[in-house]
């Protein structure tokens, strides 16, 4: 009897073990199938990183053939004149003083062009150039769409310039490039030598601040657009500027608020930074830095004030062109502006050119910092040398 009971219990135990094994195996197979479905049909919250980023192959400096001549000019400049070269300021803020005559350049807004004929704009810019010790950068933001300076004046152009996204939806990339060439030619005719566009940011979400200003394509397609726009400008000996490094993404409006981007750098390199990388390979001479805080790189400072972020551009991407800060008077930087030190922070971070509406305050602060050794003259010379070389390369200095 006892023997039968033992056999019976052993049989039940074996059956239970087999059932448990089958359930475990079934769950394992289901889990594999679920993961397979996620990989093939559903985008995870953050796309997987495809590969480890490798730095670009180092290429010759963009302005290498112009440095000897640039050095000759640089050696004639005082410290005050060198620092002035590093600023782009509103056209309307000009005053008859040395620090304004040697400023790097001017940015024009719609109010500077309002109701003026082409001839009057040409004369206005030409007369200002005549006052320069070293010819000025003359620039504006002519993206089209929500950011346009020309379209408000029908005497300059008889139709509103739409956004690249709108033109792409209307006629594809050919229509976009047709408008880009038209804009470049018009700006050149008026006396401009730089357009603070195109937008190289990736945005496919209508809720993003940068959505209307971006072309709305994936990273590689956006990169192809950037390359073609860069090539068109180069053929005309005109300059464009990619913005807003390292990619604006889903962040808010830095004109009004401080924004923090928590995306991983590895993710940015596989997505938002691809158009910038392709633009660098095409030889873009200017890149503008955003005021977003890239928390995974530097939580203490916005990108425009962060040496760590700007070093990515210089070292990982081997960029040798000009680096421009977004406007230093935007609200996102208010908490960093102790005693007008923003210009010192921006220069030490690696910006070559600073855009600001508060030129006198930031110029005086940078000059004082240089005189006290808080900005090295070596650092200043590095930027001014590049600025002068670009001016020679693009016939701004004739």
What's the number of CA atoms in the CB half-sphere (13 Å) around residue 293?
14
In percent, the amount of the chain with pLDDT more than 90 equals 78
Q: Is the pLDDT of residue 155 over 70?
A: yes
Q: Can you tell me the mean pLDDT for 109-129? A: 97
pLDDT classification of 145: cutoffs 50, 70, 90: very high
CA separation for the pair 77, 388 (Å, rounded): 11
Per-residue pLDDT at 10:
52
Kindly tell me if the per-residue pLDDT of 38 is higher than 80. Answer: no
Q: Residues with Cβ < 8 Å from 374, sequence gap 6 or more? A: 344, 348
Q: Are 184 and 198 in contact (CB under 8 A)?
A: no
Mean predicted lDDT score pLDDT of the chain: 88
- What number is the average pLDDT over the span 342-356? 98
Least confident interval from 14-28, 208-222, 279-293, 369-383: 14-28
Unique residue bearing structure tokens 């359930």: 23
Q: How confident is the model at residue 138, as a pLDDT? A: 98
Nearest residue to 86 (alpha-carbon basis) of 291, 385, 372, 316: 385
**Distance between start and end Cα atoms, the chain:** 114
Phi, psi of 377 (to 5 degrees): -70, -30
Residue 334 CA: distances (Å) to CA of 235, 342, 349, 366: 40, 9, 17, 17
- Rounded distance, CA 184 to CA 233, Å? 7
Count of positions (residues) in the chain: 398
Q: Structure tokens of 182?
A: 């038209």
Contact 332, 258 (CB under 8 A): yes
pLDDT given at position 56? 57
Q: How far apart are CA 275 and CA 246, in angstroms?
A: 10
Of 15-19, 64-68, 351-355, the poorest mean pLDDT is in 15-19
Q: How many CB atoms lie within 10 A of CB 97?
A: 9
247: tokens are: 């990619």
Q: Give the pLDDT mean for 174-189.
A: 98
9 or 100, greater pLDDT:
100
CA distance 274 to 29: 37
| 68, two tokens | 């000897």
Tell me the backbone φ, ψ of residue 61, rounded to 5 degrees. -55, 140
Give the per-residue pLDDT at 338. Answer: 87
DSSP annotation string for 240-290: EEEEEET--TT---TTTS--EE---HHHHHHTTTHHHHHHHHHT-SEEEEP
Residue 36, pLDDT > 80, answer no
Both tokens assigned to 52: 């480890």
| Cβ contacts of 153 within 8 Å, gap of 6 or more | 110, 113, 114, 115, 116
Tokens 């019976």 sit on residue: 8
Instruction: Give yes or no for a contact between 195 and 247, defined as CB atoms under 8 angstroms apart.
Output: no
pLDDT at 97 (0 to 100): 83
Please tell me the predicted confidence (pLDDT) of residue 385: 98
pLDDT digits (tens, 9 = 90+) for 168-178: 999 999 999 99
- Can you give the pLDDT at residue 3? 45
User: Who wins on pLDDT, 55 or 201?
Assistant: 201
Crossing angle for the helix pair 219-235 and 274-282, to the nearest 10 degrees: 30
> pTM of the predicted model, to two decimals?
0.85
What pLDDT sits at residue 144?
96
Q: What is the predicted pLDDT for the residue at 57?
A: 65
Whether 194 shows a pLDDT value over 70: the answer reads yes
pLDDT, tens only, 210-267: 999 999 999 999 999 999 999 999 999 999 999 999 999 888 888 888 899 999 999 9
For 43, the token pair is: 């985008």
**Cβ atoms of residues 201 and 273 within 8 Å:** no
């Amino acid at each position: 009897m006892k023997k039968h009971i033992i056999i019976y219990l052993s049989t039940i135990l074996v059956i239970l073990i087999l059932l448990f094994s089958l359930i475990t195996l079934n769950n394992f197979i289901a889990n594999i199938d679920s993961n397979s479905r996620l990989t093939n049909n559903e985008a995870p919250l953050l796309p997987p990183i495809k590969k480890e980023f490798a730095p670009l192959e180092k290429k010759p400096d963009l302005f290498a053939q112009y440095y000897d001549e640039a050095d000759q000019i640089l050696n004639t400049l005082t410290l005050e004149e060198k620092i002035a070269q590093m600023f782009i300021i509103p056209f309307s803020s000009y005053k008859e003083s040395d620090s304004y005559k040697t400023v790097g350049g001017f940015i024009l807004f719609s109010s500077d062009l309002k109701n003026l004929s082409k001839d009057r704009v040409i004369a206005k810019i030409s007369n200002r150039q005549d006052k320069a010790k070293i010819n000025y950068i003359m620039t504006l933001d002519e993206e089209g769409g929500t950011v346009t300076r020309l379209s408000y004046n029908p005497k300059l152009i008889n139709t509103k310039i739409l956004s690249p996204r709108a033109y792409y939806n209307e006629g594809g990339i050919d229509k976009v490039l047709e408008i880009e060439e038209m804009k470049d030619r018009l700006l050149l005719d008026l006396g401009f030598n730089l357009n603070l566009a195109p937008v190289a940011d990736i945005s496919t979400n209508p809720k993003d601040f940068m959505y209307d200003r971006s072309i709305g394509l994936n990273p590689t397609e956006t990169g192809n657009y950037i390359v073609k726009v860069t090539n068109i400008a180069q053929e005309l000996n005109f300059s464009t500027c990619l913005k807003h490094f390292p990619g604006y993404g889903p962040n808010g409006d830095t004109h009004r608020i401080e924004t923090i981007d928590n995306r991983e750098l590895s993710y940015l390199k596989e997505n938002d930074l691809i158009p910038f990388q392709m633009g660098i390979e095409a030889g873009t001479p200017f890149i503008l830095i955003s005021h977003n805080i890239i928390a995974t790189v530097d939580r203490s400072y916005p990108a425009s004030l962060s040496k760590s972020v700007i070093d990515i551009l210089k070292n990982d991407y081997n960029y040798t062109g000009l680096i421009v800060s977004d406007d230093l008077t935007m609200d996102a930087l208010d908490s960093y502006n102790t005693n007008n030190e923003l210009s010192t922070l921006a220069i030490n971070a690696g910006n070559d050119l600073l855009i600001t509406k508060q030129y006198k305050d930031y110029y005086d602060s940078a000059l004082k910092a240089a005189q006290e050794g808080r900005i090295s003259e070596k650092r200043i010379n590095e930027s001014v040398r590049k600025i002068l070389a670009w001016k020679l390369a693009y016939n701004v200095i004739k």
